Amino acid sequence: MIDRTQWEQLSALLDEALDLAPAERATWLERVCAQQPALATALRRMLAQAERAEAQPDAAQALVTAFDQWLGPALVPGADERATSDLRGLPLGAWVLAEKIGEGGMGQVWRANRADGLFQGEAAIKLLRADLPAERFSARFARERAVLARLNHPAIARLLDAGVAQGQAYLVLELVRGRPLSEHARLHAPLLDQRVALLRSVAQAVEAAHAQLVIHRDLKPSNVLVTAEGQPKLLDFGVAGLLDDDAAADDLTRLTGRGLTVGYAAPEQLAGQPVGTAADVFSLGVMLYELVSGALPFGAAGDSRASLERAVMDTEPHRLLSATPTPGGPGPAEDAGRARGDLEAVIAKALHKDPAQRYRNVSAFIEDLDHWSARRPVRAQRRD
């Protein structure tokens, strides 16, 4: 059984190994295994699995998946049983789980039915991972529920309730039916104006939440569903707020290990520095870059996680109109060339490494999007 301390050591060693050229890894591995024999077997197996994942087309995501599959059951008592068990019919407060509809680094998502007889209804219930200490979140949920329930915006999937039952922390969220942002853009929003309008709606949701002192901290296309009516709905707004005290945030980072989505996270997040609203501005800038070009601004397909982190923190974004589209992404806008100049400047400002040099808030970012849409000069081009 791998304990938490060993896991942290293995995580760091795996990052170190994947930074090396493949030809150098065998020598490195023998040296490290001789120095730390207690970790040797686990490290050899992890590195072999990671190298197999690197060979897959979506290497970065495959690597995260392989890492979680190997470490998850070892770290989380009962995690393997949960993955294979059928939780249908499990009561959580006024709700009963009906069908699993998703799974990610934070836990499982289930469609649930209202079961207390007061009214009929459906919701999405997120079961937070079993290794996150539920007892620590109980009081936090009670404090934050009322605040997060005020996030009443058409582009935010509302948090309806939160609680702890049978040692399981859970969130009850508005059930949204739609396509992920990238898929919707690829299929139904080929033009730049359409894509900027979608991103503007998401930014308005972020702006509304910031007004309630709630930061998302995990903005990315997969956290936005677009309904059949074309309305973007931002998901998981509230998870960061619920967990955003120092102790819980530290546990979240440590226990999920690779919880952040590196391609969209701000440099200060990756560096473990204090995170404010500027981190959400950065993530919105990444999403806008991708909607214009079909690509991510940093790194390349097949990069290791450590390489991607260094690229986000240390390198400038790729040139917007010459970036290579990412498979499975939104694809480039048909008229992406219209982004040359002003929209490029808007994206560059949002993606500044220094949070103080980005837009002062999301409202200023939205204002420049409006200026661009109206064919007026954007503030990002000004030098004052």
User: What pLDDT shows up at residue 257?
Assistant: 38
| Alpha helix stretches (DSSP H) within 131-233 | 134-149, 181-188, 192-211
Annotation marks residue 244 as catalytic:
no
Give the amino acid at 275.
Answer: V
Predicted model pTM: 0.72
Q: How far apart are CA 82 and CA 80, in angstroms?
A: 5
- How many C-beta atoms surround the C-beta of residue 293 within 10 A? 27
Segments of the chain assigned E as strands: 91-92, 95-104, 107-114, 122-128, 159-165, 168-173, 179-180, 224-226, 232-234
Q: Are 192 and 335 in contact (CB under 8 A)?
A: yes
Catalytic residue among 218, 280, 342, 368: 218
pLDDT, one tens digit per residue, over 239-257 is 555 444 444 444 433 333 3
- Whole-number average pLDDT of the chain: 80
Tens digit of each residue's pLDDT (9 = 90 or more) over 39-61: 888 888 878 877 766 555 444 44
Give the total residue count for the chain: 384
Spatial distance between the Cα atoms of 50 and 47, rounded to a whole number of angstroms:
5
**Dihedral sign, CA of 183, 184, 186, 192?**
negative
DSSP 223: G
Residue 117, classed as helix, strand or coil, is coil
